[in-house]
Amino acid sequence: MTRSLLMLMVLMLGFFSRVYAQEIYAGRYRAVFTKAPELVPTKKTPDGPLAGNGDIGLTLGGSPDQLSFYLGKNDFWRAYPVYPGGGIALPGWLEVNISALKGANYYAEQVQDKAFIKGEFTKNQLKVSLKAWVAATRNTVVAEFTANNACNLKLGLKSTEGNTSVNTAGVDGDVIWVTRSFENTPLLEWPSNVAMALKVLGANLEKDGSVDLKPNEKVTLTITMYTNQDRKDWKAATIKEAHSLTENKVTEIKEEHEAWWKDFWSQSKVEIGDPFIEKYYYASQYLFGATSRGDKFAPGIWGPFVTRDSAAWGGDYHLNYNYQAPYWAAYSSNHIDETANFDQPLLDYMDKGKQHAKALLHQKGIYYPVGMGPKGLVTTRWPLTPEEMEKRYATRENTIDGGYKFLGQKINAVFSVGNMLMRFYSTYDKAYTQKIYPYMLECANFWEDYLKFENGRYVIYMDHYGEVMPNLKNNGKWRDQLGDFNSTLSVGLVKMLFKGMIDVSSFLNVDASRIPKWKHIVQHMSDFTVGEVDGKLSLKGVEKSPSAWHSRIAGLARVSIHGLILPGGVCGPKTDSAFNQILLSDVSRWKERMKGSGEWGNTLGNGIETCFPAAVRVGYDSDEILKQLKDRINIQSLPNLWITAEGGGIETLSAVPLTINEMMMQSYEQTIRIFPNWNRFKDASFEQLRAYGAFLVSSRLEKSEIEYVELLSEAGRVCTIDNPWPVKKVQLLRNGQKAEVLSGKTFVFDTKVGESIHMTAK
């Protein structure tokens, strides 16, 4: 056997063993419930067991004798421009009443590697077992019941009523169906229809909705769901597909389901020897996988886990971080497919964005309000009558900014460019880049027009660090707070935009004549403003502001992080090490400002997904970050392992994965760094984390030594990587063959599409 063939076999064996290990490793961690959920239904994050396929979300609520299977769907909206009332809506739920279980013990698990809910409910000699799941590849929800002794199930399929919806129900042979529709009401931008159909397998469904559960025999409940966004024949297709389901068909669907999740878990892995953090790492990955699917509608603030109408903030796409943040960990975690739905709502709103820019600001380009929905829907109009405006905001002026909530912020459209650039740099996918380039170009058109060049620098007037609006607290008075100048949020994101424009247009070989202007903006953008606190330099949120709160020297905080570090990515130890030291000093003061455990970074309201990864990127001590992260999780999280925040929902799902990924591997400054912020005395490993340049990277740290680094080059780009063994020479193997020996602090070398690179210290 030749040496090259032996090496190839070793590499293949390592790959397959990693895939197998990933499947087992994700299965170590489950959410356990020993009492019935208390926050189901809710207008925010539910605390019950969850399952989903990135389109349909299943939330288990109720007690053992009155179980409720709430069914949410990312594409079922009441397309009305104001909330409450508008926003994502609840299709309905399935009630399963088991009177024999009144007062029974409650036990459930959220089994995350297989993506199902397991339940066991016991009373005296009766034990009823449940296994429920949302098919990963179909519009089907399955709930399987078994019992050791006979009992009766009473079923009720319900569609949510009210809020101007029209509801129908009926029976078609052995299928029970219900529908809910929003149509033909004033200001509704497009109709929404949903149908749900129930079929029972393994037992007879009586006319009164009851089913006899016999000892040790399985009864399977299937619910099929389609909306008019899925297909035009949404109702007929729902009923027809429900009819087609058999026990063999459900077995086939289950096999597809398990294969999909097996592939999901094979895409990346981390192992850090900390069961607490790993539990939330994998739970967050599971919940995002259950929340978002690339070929479906993008999830709103609460994902598909909606358990009542009029969810908080309409469950919309909030563009000043809530919409973008859930995706941030998916890029480095190599879950690119789950991010493919992000861009479409932004593209669909472009025509309206152009109208806003022209009518309200007399500008080119696009101008987006703070909140929107799918298909060009705006969700954040001010109340439509002066009376309602006064009731909610203490002023009758409901025509501010043409009746739309911009809240003093011009940067909302650019905020999303950060995600677009993360995916671009992570994949160098030409088709994707061509898709998002028109959006980026309109953002550039706006900011070329809006920026002012004064005294040798570009400055930004009247774009605000925080939301500025009338409310009950300020008695409707708010205009005296307008006037921010050079907000760190704005300066950072605009710089990010034009750096990205240069890279993206060069990649596509378009608009070369505009690049000199974009370079001039990047090179002459205003510096970030700093002041002095206790003899040390510290970041200011804005250069000047009429708001005392914004003009103070507050140091690095969530909003400024958005502009500078995440998603901005324009600051860091590689970009400007001296400025990075100022930011690191600011992070060190977070601990001094704590009033209690779990309050590090002031993330109870918002920002756990922002502040913790940012602290990693600037180089703060990793052990202290993990300690504070554990305290934060313990003070505010749910039994389903969803870490909660007062101001939002699914954005917290990126907090733990992104924090750990950034400790294992960084690339956001176009240089790959292996274990850049990790305690070298703690063993750790990662597999197939995705780096900028379209590289999949794996490595292991054991006994304070990095054993190897592996890279798979998807796009054949030049690789820049800091030497993982700074004082040693490094041997490269290309596709299993010995290649060059490298030395120095940082390496730059060519790669080919599909090439495997193995690096070891020589």
Residues 195, 254 within the same domain: yes
| Residue at which a domain ends, from 648, 673, 698 | 673
Answer whether 568's CB lies under 8 Å from 496's CB.
yes
Let me know if residue 466 belongs to a domain: yes
CATH number at residue 709: 2.60.40.1180
Q: Quote the pLDDT of residue 350.
A: 98
Asked whether residue 635 falls in the same domain as residue 691, the answer is no
The residue range of the domain holding 188 is 17-266
3-state secondary structure of 110: strand
The answer to whether position 755 is within a domain reads yes
The mean per-residue pLDDT over the stretch 37-64 comes to: 98
Whether residue 338 sits in one domain with residue 219: no
Enter the tokens of residue 202.
């393994």
Asked whether residue 335 carries a pLDDT value surpassing 70, the answer given is: yes
Instruction: Inform me whether the pLDDT recorded for 286 exceeds 80.
Output: yes
Do 699 and 747 sit in the same domain of this protein?
yes
- CATH number at 574 reads 1.50.10.10
Domain assignment of residue 362, yes or no? yes
Is 203 in the same domain as 69?
yes
CB 204 within 8 A of CB 97: no
Answer yes or no: is 258 within a domain: yes
Q: What is the pLDDT of residue 224?
A: 98
> What's the rounded Cα separation, in Å, for the pair 275 and 194?
41
Phi, psi of 507 (to 5 degrees): -65, -40
On the question of pLDDT at 761 being above 50, the answer is yes
End residue of a domain, out of 654, 673, 692: 673
pTM of the shown model: 0.96
Is 611 part of a structural domain of the chain? Answer: yes
**Structure confidence by residue, pLDDT tens digits, 577-589:** 999 999 999 999 9
Last residue of a domain, one of 673, 698, 714: 673
pLDDT classification of 140: cutoffs 50, 70, 90: very high
CB 423 within 8 A of CB 332: no
Could you tell me whether strands 705-713 and 756-761 are parallel, antiparallel, or unpaired per DSSP bridges? antiparallel
Classify the C-alpha dihedral 180-183-186-189 as positive or negative: positive
What whole-number distance in Å separates Cα of residue 60 and Cα of residue 31? 13
Both 195 and 165 in a single domain?
yes
Contact by Cβ (8 Å): 216, 127: no
Question: Which phi-psi region, left, alpha or beta, contains residue 549 (left: φ > 0; alpha: ψ -120 to 50)?
Answer: alpha
pLDDT beyond 80 at 8 = no
More confident: 758 or 596: 758
**Do 734 and 646 fall within a single domain?**
no
Map 471-496 to HEC letters: CCCCCCCCHHHCCCEEEHHHHHHHHH
- Does residue 80 sit within a domain? yes
711 and 594, same structural domain?
no
pLDDT one-digit tens code per residue, 725-754: 999 999 999 999 999 999 999 999 999 999
CB–CB of 670/426 below 8 Å? no
- Is 261 found in the same domain as 275? no
- 3-class SS at 95? strand
Q: How many residues does the chain have?
A: 762
Give 273's pLDDT tier (boundaries 50, 70, 90).
very high
Same domain, yes or no: 555 and 603? yes
Q: Is residue 304 part of a domain?
A: no
CA distance 359 to 378: 16
Q: Which of 565, 535, 568, 570 shows the shortest CA–CA distance to 553? A: 535
User: Is a pLDDT exceeding 80 seen at residue 44?
Assistant: yes
Question: Residue 27: its pLDDT value, please?
Answer: 84
111 and 182: one domain? yes
| 379 and 417 fall within a common domain | yes
Instruction: Give the total number of structural domains in the chain.
Output: 3
How far from chain centre, in Å, is Cα 249?
32
What are phi and psi for residue 356, nearest 5 degrees?
Answer: -60, -45
Tens of pLDDT along 185-214? 999 999 999 999 999 999 999 999 999 999
Helix (H) or strand (E) holding 558: helix 558-564
Question: Tell me, what CATH number does 145's domain have?
Answer: 2.70.98.50
Residues with Cβ within 8 Å of residue 59, at least 6 apart in sequence: 40, 46, 48, 49, 50, 69, 70, 72, 305, 307
Q: Which residue has the tokens 């974009």?
A: 518
H-only helix segments in 333-473: 344-348, 350-361, 386-393, 412-415, 417-427, 430-450
- Residue 6 inside a domain? The answer is no
Q: Which amino acid is at 108?
A: A
